Amino acid sequence: MKQLPRPWHAGRLQALIEVPGVTDVLVNGPDDVWIDRGAGLERAAVRFASAGEVRELAVRLASLGGRRLDDASPLVDARLPDGTRLHAALPPVVDECAVISLRTVRAQALTLDDLVLGGTLAPRVAAVLEGLVIARASILVTGATGSGKTTLLASLLSLVDPAERIIVIEEAGEVNPDHPHVVRMVERRVNVDGAGEVSLARLVREALRMRPDRIVLGECRGSEVRDVLTALNTGHKGGMAILHANTPADVPARFAALGALTGMDRRATDLFAATAFDAVVHLEKTAAGRRVTEVAVLQAREGQRREEALRVEPALVAGPGGEVVQGSAWGELQAVLGWDEARESQAELTRAA
């Protein structure tokens, strides 16, 4: 497994970042520090000497990310040398003390077996997801903030044939699959002079010229949706993307909103999305941890009212106890997999072994 170097130090927060399973470290004040390792926020036993020390750390971390943080520029969103995401804010934008938010990057991708053992995946769901990757299905990973979308995406990409070339396009460089041929492209924001921007949409277009076998978008949140949908509708199968959605039912509205940013009408967005993605994999963050709760398909229904044209139909629904129930779209997903019932049983047995 690939290990990411950490050529920097987070001061009093360093020990928290290195705790296994920690995804977020949050500082709200000198004695108000929190971590998240999958089961909700926990107060940490770390204290700063003063608000001034918190500010000094925030400024230093921002400089490591090549950004400026001071009274004239009191907000910063930066990527630290190992890919850790930093957001910081200074007073008077926030009260009294600087606020620091760190989103860590997992040093190595988890396998699907790791996710099964951790309760994120039911064994049957794991077998289906592996089958989708092997079948070069295009996969949309959805969920709310902190539900484990990036972790699952990296695990799926680790299953891709080593002979294939993966191009990952991201806002913050968080996806770290265990794969020998990954090209990561990270957007660049405007500098202090208002120049130098390289957008996600442009990176998607550039990726098409780089002989990709799989194009992956770390998170679809803006005008790049048009370029991704176009790519996946023009022969670039096996791609993957992340979309923020609280429930599977919210996916059509999210696509409609993003499509509107590019001038695409809803009907065009619905049709493009339904033909671009073969499967939707939805995660939820629960008190017991992060979990894949549904594998679904997108369907664009002719003759439906425009606001109801795109639908998310469940193929597999996973319960909290690990039980998995087939949904109305299971036959459609089987066709994508190229499975019959005997093939599915063999896939489950192989993964269980």
**15 shares its domain with 156:** no
**47 shares its domain with 154:** no
User: What pLDDT was estimated at residue 315?
Assistant: 96
**77 shares its domain with 187:** no
- Domain span at 93: 11-103
- The residue out of 85, 103, 121 marking a domain boundary is 103
Specify the CATH number for the domain of residue 227.
3.40.50.300
Angle, vertex CA 37, rays to CA 33 and CA 40, nearest 5 = 75
pTM: 0.81
**165 shares its domain with 69:** no
1 domain residue, yes or no: no
**Mean pLDDT, the chain cut into blocks of 10 residues (353 residues total):** 54 87 91 86 92 95 89 89 88 93 81 91 95 96 90 94 95 84 85 73 91 92 89 90 94 92 89 93 87 94 63 93 91 91 58 54
What's the total number of domains in the chain?
2
The gap between the terminal CA atoms of the chain, to the nearest Å, is 22
* Cα(24)–Cα(87) distance, integer angstroms: 11
User: What pLDDT was estimated at residue 193?
Assistant: 64
5 domain residue, yes or no: no
- The residue out of 53, 82, 103 marking a domain boundary is 103
User: What pLDDT was estimated at residue 1?
Assistant: 39
**211 shares its domain with 316:** yes
21 domain residue, yes or no: yes
